[in-house]
């Protein structure tokens, strides 16, 4: 017989029913105790935890079945199954309103009781798995994943703790690689929405039409290629959090629709006429100066102030170099596990090199260097000879070949896309003598989107004709 760790307490004043249930459940491997009154049941519950309590509604003494149910649900984490005579069904239904899982009528069918218990065990297993999953998610994305002891990082951690349980919109600003998405995840998984979805969109990687479709969804036939209905990310994130990375790259036409969601909590799917309501917390991030964008009429002022209710500024690594030793230790532990290595740390020369380096790629760059150094190091200490070539390669604007493929997928993809975009745009503009309108037609890129890319990549030329809209 396979022993089940599930403990069950049977509470019934009739010894016959107690014996039948105890024997039947014990035969199936459950750990069973019995009690003949509400008082005896509470004594047993004080001694040990029971996953399931089976209670007869009619009990002797001052504590009847309904009272016992209330006490069990109020003080313990047990699930309750009610037994009642046929005439007591109305009371049993009331017991279910107060938290009982189900009721069984007497004389009962053993198979029916076993079926209910199996369902309860399966339900409890799912609950426990979810608790474990959420605890693991908090470890992965919670406050503990933001490494550092500097004053700047303490300010960030303090802000996360203060805003996590708020509904306020948060704008995270800072250079690329400073950990803006990590902060957004920490806010979500620390707050009261942690059991709901955390949905991410990078606004810089999509054209205007695709971005609108991704955010708000579309119905079949809304545009060429819309062959079926598609749910948008606002609807997908309903009840949870939508993290909008690179918010500064959103075109004005889409900005107005995002503003409506922030103000009214509603939107209209592309091609539809029905207004949908959503409860979504928006966390946005950017490495751009949005206020400058407002002044240059590129970013809506009303949207800026709606987004910037709470601002968290991520400090660049060069402004918190005292955190480098902790970050190095953290990344060495992380990639030791991944690569099955036992590297203990970095040499004093590497520490000195790290301190004097300017870290243009911030924490992301430090992590990439440590990851590659662990792959290349055969000693238990990372030497300066291993580090220097990696740092020098990081200083180049364009990264190709082995250096590109040594990076994490997301960053390598972003670097490759950026490199391709710069080369492609520069080439097409040279063919059209700098005429942006002709370049847009030649390439099939929307002119407004092309202009945004020119600004993003800081592509400037005397021959580029930047026409006014």
pLDDT, residue 397, reads 43
pLDDT score of 467: 44
- The β-bridge partners of 244 are 201, 284
Please list the helix, strand and coil fractions of the chain in percent, rounded to the nearest 5, in that order. Answer: 55, 15, 30
Record the tokens describing residue 127, joined without a space.
């609950």
Sorting pLDDT into bands at 50, 70 and 90, what band is 228? confident
- At residue 382, the pLDDT reads 95
What residues contact 247, with CB distance under 8 A and at least 6 apart?
A: 171, 203, 284, 285, 286, 290, 307
Average pLDDT over residues 283-291: 94
Q: Do 325 and 155 touch, CB atoms closer than 8 A?
A: no
Taking Cα atoms as reference points, which of 79, 55, 76, 77 lies closest to residue 67? Answer: 55
Query: Residues of the chain with pLDDT > 90: what percent?
Result: 51
Residue 437: pLDDT over 90: no
What whole-number distance in Å separates Cα of residue 39 and Cα of residue 126? 31
Beta-carbon contacts of residue 222 (< 8 Å; ≥ 6 apart): 213, 269, 270, 271, 272
Cα atoms found within 13 Å of the Cα of residue 115, Cβ hemisphere only: 8
pTM, two decimals, is: 0.60
Q: pLDDT tens digits, residue range 161-191? A: 999 999 999 999 999 999 999 999 999 988 8
pLDDT at 229: 85
pLDDT at 400: 53
Residue 1, pLDDT above cutoff 50: no
Q: Which of 62, 74, 66 is nearest to 37 (CA)?
A: 62
In this predicted structure, the answer to whether residue 386 has a pLDDT above a threshold of 80 is yes
Q: What is the pLDDT of residue 395?
A: 44
Residue-level pLDDT at 223: 86
Answer yes or no: is pLDDT of 126 > 80.
no
Give the per-residue pLDDT at 408.
Answer: 65
pLDDT reported for residue 4: 56
What is the rounded distance in angstroms from the CA atom of residue 89 to the CA atom of residue 83? 9
For residue 35, name the pLDDT band (cuts at 50, 70, 90).
very high
458: nearest Cα among 431, 427, 418, 411: 418
Q: What is the pLDDT of residue 123?
A: 82
pLDDT of residue 330: 92
Over residues 134-145, the mean pLDDT reads 58
Indicate if the alpha-carbon torsion angle 128, 129, 134, 136 is positive or negative.
positive
Range ranked top by mean pLDDT from 95-99, 309-313, 385-389: 309-313
Q: Say how far apart CA 304 and CA 307 lie, in whole Å.
A: 5
Do the Cβ atoms of 111 and 163 come closer than 8 Å?
Answer: no
Render pLDDT for 61-111 as a digit per residue (tens, 0 to 9): 889 988 999 999 888 888 999 998 766 677 778 888 888 888 888 888 888
The predicted pLDDT at position 462 comes to 37
Q: What is the mean pLDDT of residues 43-65?
A: 90
Please state the rounded mean pLDDT for residues 141-146.
Answer: 69
Length of the chain: 469
417: pLDDT strictly greater than 50: yes
Q: Who has greater pLDDT, 453 or 60?
A: 60
Highest mean pLDDT among 8-17, 425-434, 457-466 belongs to 8-17
Mean confidence (pLDDT) of the chain = 86
Q: Write down the pLDDT at residue 365.
A: 92
Is the model more confident about 292 or about 413? 292
């Amino acid at each position: 017989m396979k022993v089940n760790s599930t403990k069950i307490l049977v509470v019934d004043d009739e010894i016959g029913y107690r014996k039948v249930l105890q024997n039947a459940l014990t035969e199936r491997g459950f750990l069973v105790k019995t009690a003949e009154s509400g008082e005896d049941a509470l004594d047993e519950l004080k001694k040990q935890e029971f996953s399931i309590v089976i209670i007869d509604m009619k009990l002797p003494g001052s504590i009847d079945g309904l009272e016992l149910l209330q006490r069990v649900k109020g003080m313990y984490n047990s699930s309750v199954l009610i037994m009642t005579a046929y005439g007591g069904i109305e009371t049993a239904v009331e017991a279910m309103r107060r938290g009982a899982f189900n009721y069984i009528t007497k004389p009962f069918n053993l198979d029916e009781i076993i079926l209910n218990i199996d369902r309860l065990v399966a339900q409890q297993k799912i609950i426990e798995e979810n608790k474990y999953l959420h605890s693991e998610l908090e470890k992965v994305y919670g406050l503990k994943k933001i490494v550092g002891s500097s004053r700047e990082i303490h300010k960030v951690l303090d802000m996360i703790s203060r805003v996590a349980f708020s509904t306020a919109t948060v704008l995270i600003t800072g250079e690329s690689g400073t950990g803006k998405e990590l902060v957004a995840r920490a806010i979500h998984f620390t707050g009261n929405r942690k059991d709901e979805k955390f949905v991410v969109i990078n606004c810089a990687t999509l054209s205007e039409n695709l971005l609108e479709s991704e955010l708000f969804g579309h119905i079949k036939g809304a545009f060429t290629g819309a062959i079926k209905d598609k749910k948008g990310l606002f609807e997908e994130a309903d009840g949870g959090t939508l993290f909008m990375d690179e918010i500064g790259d959103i075109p004005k036409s889409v900005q107005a629709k995002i503003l409506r969601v922030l103000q009214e909590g509603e939107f209209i799917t592309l091609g539809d006429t029905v207004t949908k309501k959503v409860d979504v917390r928006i966390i946005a991030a950017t490495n751009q100066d949005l206020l400058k964008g407002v002044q240059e009429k590129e970013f809506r002022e009303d949207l800026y102030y709606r987004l910037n209710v709470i601002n968290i500024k991520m400090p660049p690594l060069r402004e918190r170099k005292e955190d480098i030793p902790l970050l190095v230790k953290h990344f060495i532990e992380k990639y030791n596990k991944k690569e099955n290595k036992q590297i203990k740390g970095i040499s004093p020369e590497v520490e000195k090199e790290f301190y004097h380096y300017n870290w243009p790629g911030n924490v992301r760059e430090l992590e990439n260097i440590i990851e590659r150094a662990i792959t290349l190091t055969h000693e238990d200490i990372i030497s300066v000879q291993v580090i220097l070539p990696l740092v020098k390669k990081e200083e180049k604007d364009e990264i190709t070949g082995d250096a590109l493929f040594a990076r994490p997928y997301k960053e390598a993809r972003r670097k490759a896309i950026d490199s391709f975009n710069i080369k492609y745009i520069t080439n097409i503009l040279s063919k059209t003598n700098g005429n942006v309108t002709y370049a847009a037609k030649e390439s099939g890129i929307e002119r407004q989107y092309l202009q945004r890319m020119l600004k993003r990549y800081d592509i400037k030329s005397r021959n580029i004709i930047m026409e006014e809209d």
